[in-house]
Chains A and B, each alone.
Chain A
Amino acid sequence: MAVISLLDVRKDFPFFSQGLVYLDSAATSQKPKVVLDVMREFYEKNNANVHRGVYRLADMATQMYEAARKTVAEFIGAHPREIVFVRNATEAINLVAHSFGGSVVSKDDSILLTEMEHHSNIVPWQMLAKTKDAKLSFVPITESGQIELSAVRHGVSQKPKIFAFTHVSNVLGTINPAKEFIAEAHKCGVPVLLDASQSVPSMPVSVKDLDCDFLVFSGHKLLGPHIGVLYGKRELLERMEPFLCGGGMIKEVDFQSSTWNDVPWKFEAGTFDVPSAVGLASAIEYLNKVGMKNVMEHEQALARYAYDLLGKDPVVTLYGSDNRLNLVSFNVGDMHGHDVSTLLDQHGVCVRAGHHCAHPLMKRLGIPACVRVSFGVYSTKADVDKFMVALQKAKKVFGL
């Protein structure tokens, strides 16, 4: 099938001047020059501590920080007061597990996840379950790596205290019908955390439309720097206790006790990472210019192209189905993923191999590891073609 090369943005990304074929965007994305420039400029001209100083520069930095929050909010259809800056998606999930989960989960309660979660959306809940003597349940996936609505319906009917699931699988590429799942959960009064680490960078996502209670993602997968975002419905954030404590998150501190700052600052302890917030806003502006619908079409077309080419190879096993966003996972004959990756690497092709931080899913698929190629806005059809050529050479080493 023909791939319509929608986007021609590679020139904006300095990383590619070294000639690498980078097919690991689901792990982390490359950055457009404008993002790097904006961050550099911040350090060169605007660097001051926000919400602390009263001199003009500090005021400027504060305004930039809060403007970045507004940009993030608009990008996902939220109100700025519902956006909390954290380190990454992992920290955001830990925050919700601790501050929300900690108050709603008690002994013998259950927490509902799915079989396709990243470790980041499993381990914080395991910790919570352990401290509360609660248990985890998992919505199963089908043979083709899908989650059926009926399975979700059954799961939420057991009245878990929270349902946390991934919008898009980082291994299978499956796009879950999140809106329907969330509606189903809400029918049973179950609040939902959506792990949007893989969806927000590659498709339009609106919390208003989805109606999730919490949503998390990482800036570094979104052409931005290492900063994370937690979205939470205002009334829930208001009710929650802080996660990390210290400066910035308090209103008044006495010797024995303190009162908390308003949301979202209540959850932002310590000196804020302003340059990263500013960099993230710049990345979002860049993506807005390209248009998230175009981003999605482009990345999805590349994944489909790679999926079809790999599907023609009799020694390749593919995982997942046609319902996929921007990545393809596979295995080649009896080659282990790391051997495939090492051999591709010698041809300048960077692919991810291993368990992809999803041990339970790998167990479910019955494989120890697999290889994954994933695409970003800057990926091209030529990248896929070069990868396929390198793969033939790798196979030859193993006599396949």
Chain B
Amino acid sequence: MTDDLASEMYKEIILDYYRHPRNYGVLPHPDIVSHDVNTSCGDEITMQVLVKDGRIGNIRFSGRGCAISQASASMLTEFALGKSLEEVAKFNKESMLGLINIPISCMRLKCALLGLKVLKLGILQFIGEKVEVEDEG
């Protein structure tokens, strides 16, 4: 990696979200709780969502890990707030990288994408459960 890439990766805004994470914490009665660990490095993210009319009514994340994983997760919560579950479930790797807008070395890609993986898993499970319930009804 070049000097430039590293300092680009750790630019001011990433460090700011790392040190002052937006939407950090837990919700009293979340509809979605999703958690995962990046096994190779131990980064950890939990996402909690309050669903309101098929949309993300409120969202909090918590976890521990590197600046990239924590800042990315925090930025994602800001983006997701108010959006429909379907819309967020369609969010992909490219859109996530566009959101954080820093060059990511392939070694650190998993860190940048952990929050998204956790949130999408939670949403898909939530939608899946609802579908199952509806099927039974």
Could you list which residues of chain A lie within 8 angstroms of chain B, going by C-beta atoms? 334-339, 342-343, 345-346, 353-355, 359, 362, 368-369, 397-399
Q: Which of B1, B3, B15, B42 contacts A369 (CB 8 A)?
A: B42
Q: Which of B3, B10, B15, B41 contacts A354 (CB 8 A)?
A: B41
Given A397-B7, A397-B10, A399-B15, A339:B1 Cβ within 8 A: no
Given A354-B40, A355-B42, A369-B42, A338:B66 Cβ within 8 A: yes
Given A336-B67, A338-B66, A342-B107, A368:B42 Cβ within 8 A: yes
Contact residues in B for A334 (Cβ distance below 8 Å): 19
Q: When chains A and B are docked, how far (Å) is the Cα of A355 from the Cα of B108?
A: 16
Q: What number of B residues sit within 8 Å (CB to CB) of A? A: 24
Smallest CB–CB gap between A299 and chain B, Å?
Answer: 26
Smallest CB–CB gap between A24 and chain B, Å?
Answer: 14
Contact residues in B for A399 (Cβ distance below 8 Å): 15
Contact residues in A for B10 (Cβ distance below 8 Å): 339, 343, 397-398
Could you list which residues of chain B lie within 8 angstroms of chain A, going by C-beta atoms? 1-3, 5-7, 9-10, 15, 19, 40-44, 64-68, 105, 107-108, 111
Determine whether the beta carbon of A339 is less than 8 Å from that of B7.
Answer: no
User: What are 16 pairs between A and B in contact, CB < 8 Å?
Assistant: A334-B19, A335-B67, A338-B111, A339-B68, A342-B1, A343-B10, A346-B3, A346-B5, A354-B40, A362-B42, A368-B44, A369-B41, A397-B7, A398-B15, A398-B67, A399-B15
Given A346-B1, A368-B64, A399-B15, A338:B6 Cβ within 8 A: no
Q: When chains A and B are docked, how far (Å) is the Cα of A339 from the Cα of B108?
A: 10
Smallest CB–CB gap between B82 and chain A, Å?
Answer: 30
Determine whether the beta carbon of A338 is less than 8 Å from that of B1.
Answer: no
Smallest CB–CB gap between B11 and chain A, Å?
Answer: 9
Contact residues in B for A337 (Cβ distance below 8 Å): 66
Q: When chains A and B are docked, how far (Å) is the Cα of A262 from the Cα of B107?
A: 47
Q: When chains A and B are docked, how far (Å) is the Cα of A386 from the Cα of B67?
A: 24
Contact residues in A for B64 (Cβ distance below 8 Å): 368
Given contacts A342-B66, A354-B40, A399-B15, 17 further A-B contacts (CB under 8 A): A334-B19, A336-B65, A336-B66, A338-B68, A339-B10, A339-B66, A339-B68, A345-B1, A346-B3, A353-B41, A354-B42, A362-B42, A368-B42, A368-B64, A369-B42, A397-B6, A398-B15
Q: When chains A and B are docked, how far (Å) is the Cα of A397 from the Cα of B6?
A: 9
Determine whether the beta carbon of A339 is less than 8 Å from that of B67.
Answer: yes
Smallest CB–CB gap between A110 and chain B, Å?
Answer: 28
Contact residues in A for B1 (Cβ distance below 8 Å): 342, 345-346
Q: When chains A and B are docked, how far (Å) is the Cα of A355 from the Cα of B10?
A: 22
Q: When chains A and B are docked, how far (Å) is the Cα of A362 from the Cα of B41?
A: 13
Q: When chains A and B are docked, how far (Å) is the Cα of A398 from the Cα of B6?
A: 11
Q: When chains A and B are docked, how far (Å) is the Cα of A282 from the Cα of B61?
A: 53
Q: When chains A and B are docked, how far (Å) is the Cα of A343 from the Cα of B105?
A: 11
Contact residues in B for A362 (Cβ distance below 8 Å): 42
Determine whether the beta carbon of B108 is less than 8 Å from that of A342.
Answer: yes
When C-beta atoms are compared, the residue in chain A nearest to B65 turns out to be: A336
Contact residues in A for B41 (Cβ distance below 8 Å): 338, 353-355, 369
Contact residues in A for B9 (Cβ distance below 8 Å): 342
Contact residues in A for B66 (Cβ distance below 8 Å): 336-339, 342
Q: When chains A and B are docked, how far (Å) is the Cα of A399 from the Cα of B111?
A: 22
Q: When chains A and B are docked, how far (Å) is the Cα of A13 from the Cα of B36?
A: 41
Smallest CB–CB gap between B130 and chain A, Å?
Answer: 34
